[in-house]
Structure 1
Amino acid sequence: MNTIQDKLLLISHCRGIRAAKLRRLYQIDHSFSLLQSLKSSEYLSLGLITPSYYSTFSEDFSSLKLSAIRANLEKHGTHFLTILDPLYPDLLKEIPDPPLFLFCKGNLQLFQHPESLGVAGARQSTPYGREALDKILIPLIKRGFVIVSGLAEGIDTAAHAVCIVNGGRTIAVLGGGFQHIYPFSNRALANEIGRHHLLISEYAPHIKPQKWHFPERNRLISGLGNGTLIAEAKQRSGSLITAQYAMEQGRDVFAIPGRILDCTSDGTNELIKDGAKLVMTAEDILEEFYGIGLKASGTAKE
C-alpha cells in the first residue's frame, strides 16, 4: 500500500472501525502510517476501536487484498473517490465532517455543478407534498439545478423522479452499499440514477444499511447542496435532522408550508417558525441564493 488512497480503499472494507472514528484518525495522522504500527492498547486509548472489534479489524486489515477489491469495483462500474481526489466535491470539503471517501456510480462531473439543492421530506408523503414539490423543483430543474436526495420512499423518490422526467440531473445518497439498495422497491430507480445521473455512498458495496447510517447519510444530502429544501416532515423526523445539518454547515434551509391540521406539516411549519425560508415558488429559492427571481435572472431554460 503505497498511497493514502490505497489505505483508505482497504480500510473501507474492514469491519470494526466506524467512519467517524476513521475521520478522527485522519485528523491525527493524515498518512495513516499509524495503522500499521499501533498496538492494540494504543488503538483503544485513542478511542478508535473498541476491544470487541479490534481483532476483527486487525484480521481484515491484514488479510484483505487490494487487487481483489479493485477488481470487484471495476466489474460493477464503481468509482472510489477520496477526499484527496480532484473530482471530490468542494461543497463536502466545507462541512465539519466530510467523508474521507465515497463510492460512486455515474457522472462524477455532477459534483462540480455550481447550482445544487438538497431535498428531504416525509416517507409517508401526501399528494399535496408531491404536487408542491413539483411546482417548486421543475423551474429549478429547467434552470439547470442538480437535485440531491436520499432515495427514500415518499418525497425523496418524488424529487429524483421529477428530475428524470423533466430532463434534469440528480444525485442519490444511499444509507448502505450498492449491493443493498433500500428500499428494495427503488432498485430500478437506483439503477437508472447510477447509469445516467450519480449514485453515491460512503459505505462499501457489500455493507447493509443500518439505522445509524441514515442520520450520517443526511449530512451529505445537505452538504452537497447550496441549500436544502424540506417538503413535508413530521416532528422529530429524519428530514429535520437534515435541516439541522444544513444549518450547522452554514447552508440555507427552505421549507414548504402546510396545513396546520396535517402531521406531515408539523415539522416544516416549525422550521419556518424557527427561521427557515418559507417557500411557495422557485423564485423564493433563487431570491435567497442570488437576490433574483427566475424571470429577472433571464437564465431560465425553456
Structure 2
Amino acid sequence: MTEEFLQRFYALHYVYPKPLNRLQRLMADDPELGRLTYRPPNEWSALLGISIAQAASLKKAYADSLHIPFDELYQKHKITPISYFHSHYPESLLDLIDPPAILYAKGDTRLLLAPFKIAIIGSRKATGYSRAAIQTLLPPLIAKKTVIVSGLAVGADAMAHQEAIDSGGRTIAVTGSGFLHPYPKENRPLNNIIEETHLVITEYPPYMQPLRWNFPMRNRIISGLSKGIIVTEAKEKSGTMSTIEHALEHGRDVFAVPGNIYSPLSAGPHKLIAEGAVPLWNGGRVLEEYPQLTEDL
C-alpha cells in the first residue's frame, strides 16, 4: 500500500471509526480512496446509509483530517496502527462479518501472530472463586505458550490478565476506548504494565471515549482472536454472554467453569454447559481440544 493511500485510510478511520465492511462501501469503486474528496455528499450518503447532512459533515471532517501527521501522532503516543492489510493483522479477524479496519496497538504486536490464543472472560463482580479457578486453569496453558486474551474490565478480565503476567505468560487486552482515555480507571496500573510488556489493542482512534456501545463491539474482537473462550462466573444475561454469542457465531469453542449452584454468577456457565459448552476444571482439558496446535509448543 502506498503512503498516500495509508494517509487517506487513516484519515477516514479517524473521523469514521467503523468496521471494515462499512469503509469498504467507499472503496468498492475507489480502492485507493483517491476520489473520496471529490465525491458529493449525496454519494457519501447513499454508500454509507447516513443523511446528506451527516455526509456533508463527515466529508468536511475527512478533508480536514487529511492534514493530520498520523505517523508523528501515533509515534508520539507509542501507538502502532495495524490496518487490515498489515502483516501483523490476525487473519482470524477477517472471518468476522464486521472486521476491525484498524487495530491501534501498544506493546508487542507479535503477540497477534501467536498460533494459540485463549480468551478468559467473566463477571465484573467476579468473586474469589473466579480468581482461584483462573489460578488453577492458567499454568498448563501458559506452559504451552498460550496467549491469554481478555477485555481489561474489572473482575474476571483483570484477574486473567494479572494471573497471566504473574505466571510468566503473555496476555492481550482488548479495550473499548482510545488510548488517550484508558478505561476503567481502576485498572490503570494493570493497563500500563500490559502496554509496556505485553499488548493492548483497540479498534478506536486515540481520542475515542469509552462509550457504552463500544464494549459489545469490543467483544467480537476478543472472540475473533481466540481459538476458544473460557467463562468463569457470569449471570445468565450479561455482557459476558454477549461475547459467547459472538464466539458461537464464529465457530469458536466455549469452555465453562461449573460453580456453586446457589450463586447467581454460576447461572451463565451452567446454562452454557447445558447447551453444549465443555465443562472445565483444569487447563489441561483445554489443551486436549487442540493437540495439533499445542503438541510442539
TM-score (norm 1): 0.90
Q: Any idea what the Cα deviations from partners look like across 1:121-148, whole Å, max 9, x if unmatched?
A: 1000011111112111122112210001
Matched, 1:287 2:267: no
- Give matches, 1:67-216, under 5 Å: 67-216=68-217
Instruction: Summarize the Cα distance change of 1:275–1:57 in structure 2 as closer, same or farther, 3 Å threshold.
Output: same
When structure 1 is superposed on structure 2, of 152-161 and 253-262 the one drifting more is 253-262
Report the CA distance between 1:291 and its aligned residue. Answer: 8.0
Partner of 2:119, secondary structure, is strand
8 Å CA contact 1:138, 1:162 repeated in 2:
no
Report the CA distance between 1:209 and its aligned residue. Answer: 1.3
Instruction: Summarize the Cα distance change of 1:50–1:233 in structure 2 as closer, same or farther, 3 Å threshold.
Output: farther
Report the CA distance between 1:179 and its aligned residue. Answer: 0.9
Matched residue count: 295
Q: Structure 2: which 5+ residue stretches go unaligned?
A: none
Instruction: Summarize the Cα distance change of 1:108–1:93 in structure 2 as closer, same or farther, 3 Å threshold.
Output: same
Paired residue for 1:278?
A: 279
Paired residue for 2:256?
A: 255
Partner of 2:97, secondary structure, is coil
TM-score (norm 2): 0.92
Paired residue for 2:40?
A: 39
Instruction: Summarize the Cα distance change of 1:259–1:52 in structure 2 as closer, same or farther, 3 Å threshold.
Output: farther
* Structure 1 stretches of at least 4 aligned residues deviating more than 6 Å after TM superposition: none
8 Å CA contact 1:178, 1:206 repeated in 2:
yes
Partner of 1:13, secondary structure, is helix
Residue 14 of structure 2 aligns to which amino acid in structure 1?
A: H
Q: Any idea what the Cα deviations from partners look like across 1:134-164, whole Å, max 9, x if unmatched?
A: 1111221122100011000000000100011
Residue 97 of structure 1 aligns to which amino acid in structure 2?
A: D
Q: What is the CA–CA distance in structure 2 between the aligned matches of 1:198 and 1:218, rounded to whole Å?
A: 16
Q: Root-mean-square deviation (CA), in Å?
A: 2.2
User: What percentage of residue pairs aligned between the two structures are identical?
Assistant: 36
8 Å CA contact 1:234, 1:266 repeated in 2:
yes
Instruction: Summarize the Cα distance change of 1:291–1:112 in structure 2 as closer, same or farther, 3 Å threshold.
Output: closer
Report the CA distance between 1:97 and its aligned residue. Answer: 2.1
Q: What is the CA–CA distance in structure 2 between the aligned matches of 1:279 and 1:134, rounded to whole Å?
A: 13
Paired residue for 1:56?
A: 57
Instruction: Summarize the Cα distance change of 1:23–1:188 in structure 2 as closer, same or farther, 3 Å threshold.
Output: farther
Report the CA distance between 1:69 and its aligned residue. Answer: 2.7
8 Å CA contact 1:23, 1:99 repeated in 2:
no
Report the CA distance between 1:265 and its aligned residue. Answer: 1.1
Instruction: Summarize the Cα distance change of 1:291–1:105 in structure 2 as closer, same or farther, 3 Å threshold.
Output: closer
Q: Any idea what the Cα deviations from partners look like across 1:203-241, whole Å, max 9, x if unmatched?
A: 001110111100000000011111111111112211111
Q: Structure 1: which 5+ residue stretches go unaligned?
A: none
Q: What is the CA–CA distance in structure 2 between the aligned matches of 1:185 and 1:118, rounded to whole Å?
A: 21
Partner of 1:153, secondary structure, is coil
